[in-house]
């Protein structure tokens, strides 16, 4: 991914800096969904001085280039994941510890296509985020860190 990002920057006449490449590297190496803060923290453990503004600007470029996907799980901040070659997937997020799990289910793919058809639509894409409590947190009795969006609550 770092090489592709380098090519992207060159193509767009943007400076290729060690800081920018380092942000791309952190995301390329991680299978997780990282916040800008987590990325900045990771960079500081690598003894790289990258300001938060630079992290944000670089993330913007990475998203524009299609190498990174931005996620909003209604936590009050965004998360970022490498686009990889991973197919479309959905997310489960723990409202207590913030753990994000990925899943893919063919039934859901079929269901959303059918639902769209029912309403006279041709489905292009959809997004599903399930807010809940992971098994670890339930066992440890951890309290919620934030409230999931209202509209997504149980019926
Ligand atoms: Zn949890
Ligand atoms: Zn994901």
Looking at all shown ligands, the one closest to residue 141's CA atom is 1
10: left (phi over 0), alpha (psi -120 to 50) or beta: alpha
Looking at all shown ligands, the one closest to residue 100's CA atom is 2
* pTM for the model: 0.81
Task: Indicate the SS3 state at residue 32.
Answer: coil
**If you measure from the C-alpha of residue 141 to the centroid of ligand 1, how many angstroms do you get, rounded to a whole number?**
10
Structure confidence at residue 103 (pLDDT): 93
pLDDT at 86 over 90: no
Structure confidence at residue 47 (pLDDT): 85
The Cα 7–Cα 125 span in angstroms is: 29
% residues pLDDT > 70 (the chain) = 94
Structure confidence at residue 151 (pLDDT): 60
């Amino acid at each position: 991914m770092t090489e592709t990002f380098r090519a992207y920057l060159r193509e767009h006449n943007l400076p290729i800096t060690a800081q920018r490449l380092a942000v791309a590297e952190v995301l390329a190496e991680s299978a997780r969904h990282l916040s800008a803060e987590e990325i900045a923290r990771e960079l500081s453990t690598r003894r790289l001085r990258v300001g938060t503004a630079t992290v944000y600007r670089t993330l913007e470029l990475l998203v524009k280039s299609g190498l990174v996907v931005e996620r909003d799980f209604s936590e009050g901040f965004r998360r970022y994941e490498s686009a990889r070659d991973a197919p479309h997937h959905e997310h489960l997020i723990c409202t207590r510890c913030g753990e994000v799990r990925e899943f893919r289910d063919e039934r859901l793919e079929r269901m959303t296509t059918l639902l769209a058809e029912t309403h006279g639509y041709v489905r292009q894409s959809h997004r599903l985020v399930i807010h809940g409590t992971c098994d670890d947190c339930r066992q440890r009795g951890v309290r919620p860190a934030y409230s999931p969006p209202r509209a997504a609550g149980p019926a």
